[in-house]
Amino acid sequence: MKYNVSCMLSYTVHSRAEFVFSIQAAVLEVQQVLEEELILSPEGICMEAFEIPGRPERLVRIRVDQPCYFTIGYRALVDSRPRILQPPAPDTDRTVTQLSPAVLPYLFPSRYCQSDRLFRFVQMEFESAEGNYARVEAICDWIYKNVSYVSGSTNTHTSALETISERQGVCRDFAHLGIAFCRALSIPARYFTGFAYQLLPQDFHACFEAYIGGQWIVFDPTRMVPLEGLVKTGHGLDAADAAFANIFGDATPVSVQVDCTAMEDETPDPPAGGHLLSFS
Amino acid sequence: MKYNVSCMLSYTVHSRAEFVFSIQAAVLEVQQVLEEELILSPEGICMEAFEIPGRPERLVRIRVDQPCYFTIGYRALVDSRPRILQPPAPDTDRTVTQLSPAVLPYLFPSRYCQSDRLFRFVQMEFESAEGNYARVEAICDWIYKNVSYVSGSTNTHTSALETISERQGVCRDFAHLGIAFCRALSIPARYFTGFAYQLLPQDFHACFEAYIGGQWIVFDPTRMVPLEGLVKTGHGLDAADAAFANIFGDATPVSVQVDCTAMEDETPDPPAGGHLLSFS
Amino acid sequence: MKYNVSCMLSYTVHSRAEFVFSIQAAVLEVQQVLEEELILSPEGICMEAFEIPGRPERLVRIRVDQPCYFTIGYRALVDSRPRILQPPAPDTDRTVTQLSPAVLPYLFPSRYCQSDRLFRFVQMEFESAEGNYARVEAICDWIYKNVSYVSGSTNTHTSALETISERQGVCRDFAHLGIAFCRALSIPARYFTGFAYQLLPQDFHACFEAYIGGQWIVFDPTRMVPLEGLVKTGHGLDAADAAFANIFGDATPVSVQVDCTAMEDETPDPPAGGHLLSFS
Amino acid sequence: MKYNVSCMLSYTVHSRAEFVFSIQAAVLEVQQVLEEELILSPEGICMEAFEIPGRPERLVRIRVDQPCYFTIGYRALVDSRPRILQPPAPDTDRTVTQLSPAVLPYLFPSRYCQSDRLFRFVQMEFESAEGNYARVEAICDWIYKNVSYVSGSTNTHTSALETISERQGVCRDFAHLGIAFCRALSIPARYFTGFAYQLLPQDFHACFEAYIGGQWIVFDPTRMVPLEGLVKTGHGLDAADAAFANIFGDATPVSVQVDCTAMEDETPDPPAGGHLLSFS
């Protein structure tokens, strides 16, 4: 389905600063960017588009050398048609020695996903489910049931361990906890970022992908949006590795506006959680 | 110079387990592996050598399906001749927009290196040094002076934040703290693992590489060994991403023995910290 | 019932050190000390018995001025007859404004019991139980079911927040978690230390007391011993405030031996958890 | 000198809530309350004044049973004349076995002051100073130099360990860090709360008292106010134990206004840090 996605980020640059943005829709087999534009203000600021080898993000980096009110806007028409999968059977589960080498780094703990401290937790709560797909479903159920979505309850330092105790967070925290639980079960998992149709209020969204039966499958323990309505911007180990914006230098964020609308007469049919989807 | 390196790791496998080892000397422009062998016991266990795209480690993974006392031994003759560099001048420092995209992931906080919480610390302590090379030197001086090397004082959960308060650790903790400080200064840094000549007692060693003036330069805040005597096995975001052994399943480590000897009449001349070196 | 309790603690004093011990059975309305002795070695070391105003511990402090192998032994015959209570009805619950002022400090977070971070957790898990007694029962059930008793799995820095994630610990950790949950529900709770009949292997034991319906009631989420078989040494905010030994100076613990036996033909009848008891 | 102190705290009570306030000037040998009044709104709300045995705070507790906008105001005229001390000589330092038993609880780690993790830190940084007074001076110098006062940079969960890494905080964090360092050196220390003349902007203030040479001496590592201008409300283990307000139930703080003015023609002479003072 086709979505109009857009965002507008603004910053006060006090002296000078550099930015790395990951706000463009990724170009994937299942996701086409039909039109797009990036607009910077003030005029005259240069940007460089680039990619990191082996990763899907379409990044831009920008240097602002003078104090100013800096904005970057993005607008695109994207056709996103994630593949619909059947739930992987337990006998397709892969052990570590069967995994594609490229996915191994997604087994290890990362800044916000301290899976090394959760082995006993996942054994108690999730290991009895039969097969990795059922385990990740159980993980999402646990998070949905036990963690409250509370805007503003966490900050950029909040990690999965804190969310387990404090039982509240935003989409980012839900995703980090899902990833940490998966990795503690030796299931590769990565942070998924994108635009999300029907997200209220509109913002960048985060959920996660788990690698099951040879596929990266999308899971969203917030259950706030239809997965069919996601437009992927990128993925990474966690929010540290896949932020929509990284600021280096002396600048302060002022505002973030995000929007994602479906082209008329095309709306995702299934309710949240309806289909099993992959963007890879 | 040529080094004989070897290690022998042993495990009790209680039921079944998988292992990923990163114990082989890397093959680099500056490091040649002249001879080597890997020996597994008991006989009949299969291993698969593999690499992760974009990374230098020569990994092996092994599945042990029955309870046993499992050992893996490695022995190699390695010719390691890291490049000797001149200290990079401040005017060769690169800003984020000038960095090679491949090094950007080494700017972000990771499991054991929470650079996102250290911005003010590094401003106060290191930013006044002129240029990135002098800053990383100041970082190593600070760590050497303020953190005591105490065997057994930390564990696999210990991270840079704890080392700042507790002021003790082992090579791994020294490296994590160095990396965290560098990244907080927007200097890319990564965890370096290898064999180390003259390390007493012998063990796998860890230090770090910082990316300055377009080069990955080795720094070792423990100052325990001559950098000329390092034989690199790999690098990564931190010890979570670059462990010499990852165990998945039901096995317990029993012992680790490591050795690194120089071929006679060839010893590294300079004392610890004598030369500026790069393995890339 | 009458118990013979004893302990023998030994330390290597490297240069000089001071010790504060809380190893003597408390003298309480429900607990009589019939005989007791404290033995120090080497001879000639002086000790001072003292109490802290408002607290039940019978403390001793000792200064050792020379390097030596120092031991302190304690042996006592104690008649412990904790009061048997009926489960307090919900309508006897006291709100904060009805509590005795002396118990208020046991409502606040302490070193190992960060109740300030658990408000949402306890709301979700325990608040639906009717009345404070049922809530503390639910807390003990949760801990017993979700936390594994694993000797050596934690250390003196481990706090309740970590136990929630790591799901393992020893009696001290079980007690800290119970206390933290109670306080987050505005139920005063304190750390209880003592000897424990039928504890295997024998050691000092820790559990907790919650203040319900105007009584301090003992709870032990480990369910390892009959509560009737406890001999109280003291209580406090948590293990930081109620340690059996505090060392100041240059000494290393060598061993701890503890024993608690019932006088023959008198054994506590009820199984673990059988009666509701108070030592106050 | 005489000070007019006042505060006005307001809350939205959503359903019902209880409050414990510690906002009244303490009555001490060195501090007289000449006039005072407490005003609650809406009318008809009852309060109970009470004290906790062994503690100086004059507390009030209040139950609000209906949704309302609740305010509590306090106004007093206080004559505060803290004793001026001479710096204690090193030979008056007391070892643990020489301390008054009542001060021992102030040696142990507490919620926000994890002194158990700072033994090596204080050895490295402060132990070389001669005597406990010089050590606490060195502690305050270190904090003043290394931690930036940044309004809003921390929250109610922030503890001393975080302040060591993050190097920023408010008066509460400065006090917690000072206390943690003192306790790690076996110097009893407690959290001091009060009104502060010349504090800009006006608010409740926190600093700490260390027990040296048999006296509780006030130290303020923020160096923001003259110590002569303090009006003490209470003390405790840390901010968990000595909060100016504790809320139990369903209420949200709306605003805090604090004021402290000197009676005309009486102003504290010495600049911040001028005299050594005790309120005990």
The answer, yes or no, to whether residue B265 has pLDDT greater than 90, is no
The answer, yes or no, to whether residue C268 has pLDDT greater than 80, is no
- Asked if D181 and B180 count as a contact pair (C-beta separation under 8 A), the reply is no
Per CB-CB distance under 8 Å, the chain A contacts of B62 are: 97
Percentage of the residues of chain D whose pLDDT score is greater than 70? 97
- At A206, which amino acid appears? A
Burial of D269 (0-12, 13-18, 19+ CB in 10 A): exposed
Q: What is the mean pLDDT of chain D?
A: 95
Q: What is the ipTM of this complex?
A: 0.95
Per-residue pLDDT at C270: 56
Element (H, E) at C183: helix C171-184
Is the pTM higher than 0.90? The answer reads: yes
The residues of A whose Cβ lies within 8 A of any Cβ of B are: 18, 20, 48, 50-54, 59, 61-63, 95-97, 101-102, 104-105, 107-111, 113-114, 116-117, 156-157, 186, 237, 240-241, 243, 246, 248
Angle between helices A171-184 and A132-146 (to 10 degrees): 140
* Residue range A68-90, pLDDT digits in tens: 999 999 999 999 999 999 999 99
Per-residue pLDDT at D213: 95
Percentage of the residues of chain A whose pLDDT score is greater than 70? 97
- Could you tell me the pLDDT band of residue C124, with boundaries at 50, 70 and 90? very high
Of the candidates C127, C50, C59, C134, which has an alpha carbon nearest to the alpha carbon of residue C92? C134
Per-residue pLDDT at B273: 54
Percentage of the residues of chain B whose pLDDT score is greater than 70? 97
The answer, yes or no, to whether residue A6 has pLDDT greater than 80, is yes
Calculate mean pLDDT across residues C184-203.
97
Per CB-CB distance under 8 Å, the chain A contacts of C161 are: 161, 165
Q: What is the DSSP letter of C30?
A: T
- Give strand pairing partners of A194: A205, A232
The answer, yes or no, to whether residue C271 has pLDDT greater than 80, is no
Distance from CA of B250 to the nearest CA of D (A): 33
Subunit contact B166:D124, Cβ cutoff 8 A = no
Per-residue pLDDT at D219: 98
Distance from CA of C23 to the nearest CA of D (A): 17
* Residue range B15-70, pLDDT digits in tens: 999 999 999 999 999 999 999 999 999 999 999 999 999 999 999 999 999 999 99
Backbone phi and psi for residue A112, each to the nearest 5 degrees, phi listed first? -105, 5
Give the nearest chain D residue to B148 (CA atoms).
Answer: D120
Q: How far is CA D60 from the centre of its chain?
A: 18
Calculate mean pLDDT across residues C185-209.
97
Of the candidates C85, C91, C76, which has an alpha carbon nearest to the alpha carbon of residue C37? C76
Which subunits count as partners of chain C given 3+ CB pairs below 8 Å? A, D
Could you tell me where the DSSP H helices lie in chain B?
119-125, 132-146, 160-166, 171-184
Q: Which two tokens stand for residue D232?
A: 């003490």
Subunit contact A120:C164, Cβ cutoff 8 A = no
Give the nearest chain C residue to A118 (CA atoms).
Answer: C166
Q: What is the mean pLDDT of chain B?
A: 95
- Could you tell me the pLDDT band of residue A275, with boundaries at 50, 70 and 90? confident
Give the nearest chain C residue to D159 (CA atoms).
Answer: C111
Calculate mean pLDDT across residues B132-155.
97
Q: Pick A167's closest partner by Cβ from C120, C146, C162.
A: C120
Of the candidates B76, B82, B69, which has an alpha carbon nearest to the alpha carbon of residue B23? B76
- Could you tell me the pLDDT band of residue B264, with boundaries at 50, 70 and 90? confident
Q: Which two tokens stand for residue B14?
A: 């209680």
- Asked if C247 and C253 count as a contact pair (C-beta separation under 8 A), the reply is yes
Q: What is the mean pLDDT of chain C?
A: 95
Distance from CA of D203 to the nearest CA of B (A): 25
Q: In whole angstroms, give the CA distance from residue D168 to residue D181.
A: 16
Angle between helices C132-146 and C171-184 (to 10 degrees): 140
Bridging pattern class, strands D31-41 and A83-85: unpaired
Mutate to test the interface with B, among A16, A60, A107, A110 (most CBs of B within 10 A): A110
Per-residue pLDDT at B121: 98
- Could you tell me the pLDDT band of residue D266, with boundaries at 50, 70 and 90? low
Per-residue pLDDT at D269: 59
Percentage of the residues of chain C whose pLDDT score is greater than 90? 94
SS3 of D105, please? helix
Give the nearest chain C residue to A160 (CA atoms).
Answer: C165
Give the nearest chain A residue to B63 (CA atoms).
Answer: A97
